[in-house]
Amino acid sequence: MDRRLWREPSFDLIAKVLQINWLYVVLLCCLAGVGYLALYSAAGGSPEPYATRHAMRFAMGMLIMLSISLIDIRFIAKLAWPAWLGGVVLLGLVLRVGHVGKGAQRWLDIGGLQIQPSELMKLALVVALASWFHRASRERMGNPLFLIPPLIAILIPVGLILKEPNLGTAAITLMLGGAIFFAAGVRWWKFVLVLLPLPLLGQFAYSHLHDYQRARIDTFMHPESDPLGAGYNIIQSKIALGSGGMWGKGFLQGTQAHLDFLPEKQTDFIFTMIGEEFGFAGGIAVMGLLGLIIIGGMLIALRCRNQFGRLVALGISCNFFLYVFVNIAMVMGVIPVGGVPLPLVSHGGSAMLTVMVGFGVLMSVHVHRDVVFADADDDG
């Protein structure tokens, strides 16, 4: 790409639209399509009440994503810190007036739209950290004092999310921050220094957990100890997955899901239902699709020519990856149940919206992969 292109007024809307990675958009549509089929089945072979709404939300999300992808990445960079501040305010608000669900306050009702501020916060954090490290030279990266502000920028929202309490999202947020630190070039030994006392920290955290969270961890360790209580979800999920076998029971034929043995099949455990009806073959196909979307995001990061864009794209891809990992590992009983849906597949409007906003920013990075930042120029 010619750098001059960006300085010319002819780089207009149409040129930008042409720059959108339409293959990536197709991948996202495929994933949402899988979601449509799964939700159709979850409703017992009916587009109501899940599938139709899912399709409409995706269409709206796609519109938002495409709009955002046309916004200049430099403008987004300018919004980074205000967005971070907004996220923190929303997190504070959710603690005061949020809806209580499953013993935790997570949801905020804004004009009938339920949003989960922690999801928006992750996106804002990625953008904020990217803008911080965007200006960082190799020397400044070596200065530990330079790393303290971004560290605080991570810990404040993580602390607020922990207080909701939402252990899973807090951990994901923390890992997300770590990923950006890592990609920005923070030295290996500094990670080692932080990771070493982690076991102790874990012990401390465990003793301060809510009972329901502790139950999740305990039943994860020994799911059979309480087959009808907290371990029920994990066991039923594994039974449903396992009974699917190689090729599955067929579309709409999943007995465990349709006889309601599988809990929350339209949200957290939708991957299980896919596995039961389409077998290992179907499960691996969906995982492949998810993998392509993650790799595609990483490739966008690698092709971007400015540090801000790279870090943002990497952060958004990592966020998506963490989502996928936690959900799939959870339904297979690899990690404790965490209440994390499968993005673009599970039923739920708020998650869909934030994910699509994220992909919009990712696409904006792609469209504006060759722009030059004024302040970065100073650096170079």
Residue ranges binding another protein (CB under 8 A): 137-138, 179, 182-185, 236, 238-246, 255-256, 258-261, 275, 279-280, 283-284, 287, 290-291, 294-295, 298, 301-302, 307, 310-311, 314, 318, 321, 324-325, 328-329, 332, 334, 376, 379-380
Please identify, using beta-carbon distances, which residue of 124 and 262 lies nearer to another protein: 262
Q: Residue 83, Cβ neighbours under 10 Å: how many?
A: 20
* Residues found in the chain: 380
Q: Which is nearer to another protein, 91 or 179 (CB)?
A: 179
The distance of closest approach from Cβ of residue 17 to another protein in the complex, given in angstroms and rounded to an integer, is: 27
Q: Which is closer to another protein, CB of 193 or CB of 284?
A: 284
The whole-angstrom separation of Cα 276 and Cα 278 is: 6
Instruction: Supply the minimum distance, in Å, between the C-beta of residue 19 and another protein.
Output: 21
The C-alpha R_g of the chain, in whole angstroms, comes to: 21
Residue keyed to tokens 């990061």: 301
To another protein, the closest distance from the beta carbon of 313 in angstroms equals: 9
What's the closest the beta carbon of residue 111 comes to another protein, in angstroms? 32
Q: Which is nearer to another protein, 67 or 255 (CB)?
A: 255
Q: Which is nearer to another protein, 96 or 138 (CB)?
A: 138
In the complex, least distance from residue 210 CB atom to another protein, rounded to whole angstroms: 26
CB of 261 to another protein, least distance (A): 4
Percentages helix, strand, coil for the chain, rounded to the nearest 5?
70, 5, 25
**What 3-state DSSP class applies to 72?**
coil
Residues 6+ apart with CB under 8 A from 119: 169, 350, 351, 354
What is the C-alpha to C-alpha distance for residues 243 and 241, in angstroms, rounded to an integer?
6
Burial class (CB in 10 A: 0-12, 13-18, 19+), 45: exposed
**Toward another protein, which CB reaches closer, 51 or 311?**
311
How many other C-beta atoms lie within 10 A of the C-beta of residue 314? 26
